[in-house]
Amino acid sequence: MSDVFRVSPEVRHALDARRPVVALESTIITHGFPYPANLECALEAERVAREEGAVPATIGVVEGVLTVGLERADLERFASSTGIAKASRRDLPVLAARGADGGTTVAATMFAAARAGIRVFATGGIGGVHRQGERTLDISADLEELSRTDVAVVCAGAKSVLDIGLTLEYLETAGVPVVGYRTDDFPAFYVPSSGFPVPHRAETPGEIAHIVDAKSNLGLAGGVVVANPIAEQHALDPVETEAIITAALARAAENHITGKDVTPFLLAQIHEATGGASEEANRQLVYSNVRLAAKIAAAL
Ligand code: PSU
Ligand code: MN
C-alpha cells in the first residue's frame, strides 16, 4: 500500500468481499487499562466481533506504520509495554517519520478506518470537552475528527470527567449526528444516563445503518456518534461514581496534569479508586459496543 499505511490481508479480503468489518482502537490498550486487563479486553473485543460475524480491525501505529488489523504479537506488545505513545491525529506524521509505535485514539483510529474503507468503529467512550474547557480549550481531537471523517463510532457516551453538556453542544456545532440506541438520554459511560437528552433515537441496528447511509448519500462529510448505554447489570452506582470522578479531577489539578496526559491519568485514578469494579464495567460496555457495531456493519 505505502510505507506509512498498511491494511492486513484478512481485513483487506473482508472489505473486498463486502463482509462486515469493525474497527477497534488501541489507546484503550496502551493507556486505557492496566496490564493484563488491557490484553484481555483487546482479545475479547476481537472475539466478540467474530462471534457476531464481523472481521475485527484493531488499529495502531506499528514501528511508524499506521496499521489496520494488528497482529496478535502487536497486541501483546502494546498491552505489556509501558511508554508506547498515545497517538492522536497530530502525532501520526511524527511517529511515521520516526518509525515509532503508537496506540491510536478515537480520532486517529477513525482516520485510519476511513482510509481503509471501514465504516463502523466500536470503542468505550469518546473524548470530548473537558470540564473548564471553555477556559483551557482542552477539547479532544475526537470531536474535530467526528466532524470530518466518515465513520460511525459506537460508544457508551462519554465519561463525566468531561463536560457532557459542552461536548454535546460542540457536536451539534460540528454537525455530527448523535443517535441514542434505545435511549433518549446520552449515556455517561459507567452509568446509562448523563441527564442530557440525545437529539435522535434509534431502535435497531438497521435504522442506524440507514442514517449512516443517508449521511453519505447526502454528501455530508463526518461521522455519526452511536450512543449505546451500559447494561443495567454492569452499571456502577451514579452517586459513588460521581464522587470518584470528582476526586480524580482534583488529583489531576493538584498534580498539574495537562494535555494528552489528562485522560489517561483520570482513567488510572478511577480504576485505582474502584478496585477493579470500573475495569469490569469498562470491559463489558466495550463488548456490548462491539456487538452493536458488528450488527450495524452487517446491515450496511
Ligand atoms: N475515554 C475513555 N477511555 C479511553 C479514552 C477516552 O473512557 O481509553 C481514550 C480514547 O482513545 C480517546 C482518547 O480517543 O482517550 C481521548 O483522549 P484526549 O481526551 O486526550 O483526546
Ligand atoms: Mn485533551
Pairwise CA distance, residues 269 & 272, whole Å = 5
| CA 46 vs CA 110, 124, 249: distances in Å | 17, 14, 32
DSSP code, position 196: P
State residue 274's pLDDT score: 87
Query: Considering the domain 5-299 in this protein, what is its CATH number?
Result: 3.40.1790.10
Residue of minimum CA distance from atom 1 in ligand 1:
125
Task: Give the model confidence (pLDDT) of 186-237 as tens digits.
Answer: 999 999 999 999 999 999 999 999 999 999 999 999 999 999 999 999 999 9
Q: Which ligand is nearest to the CA of 132?
A: 2
Ligand 1 centroid–CA 105 distance in Å is 6
Which sequence spans correspond to the domains of the chain?
Answer: 5-299
Residue nearest to atom 16 of ligand 1 (CA): 127
Query: Does ligand 1 have an atom closer than 6 angstroms to the CB of 32?
Result: yes
CB-facing half-sphere around the CA of 213: CA atoms within 13 A: 11
Catalytic machinery residues? 25, 159
CA of 90 to the centre of ligand 2 (A): 12
Atom 21 in ligand 1: which residue has the minimum CA distance? 140
In this structure, the strands spanning 85-87 and 102-104 are parallel
Specify the length of the chain in residues: 300
pLDDT of residue 275: 76
Joined grid coordinates for residue 271: 480504576
pLDDT digit string, tens, across residues 58-116: 999 999 999 999 999 999 999 999 999 999 999 999 999 999 999 999 999 999 999 99
Could you tell me the CA-to-CA distances from 66 to 24, 47, 170, 257 in Å, in that order? 13, 22, 28, 28
Q: Is 140 close to ligand 1, i.e. is its CB under 6 Å away?
A: yes
pTM: 0.97
The pLDDT value given to residue 160: 87
Q: pLDDT digit string (tens) for 162-178?
A: 999 999 999 999 999 99
Model confidence pLDDT, tens digit, residues 253-283: 999 999 999 999 998 999 899 878 999 999 9
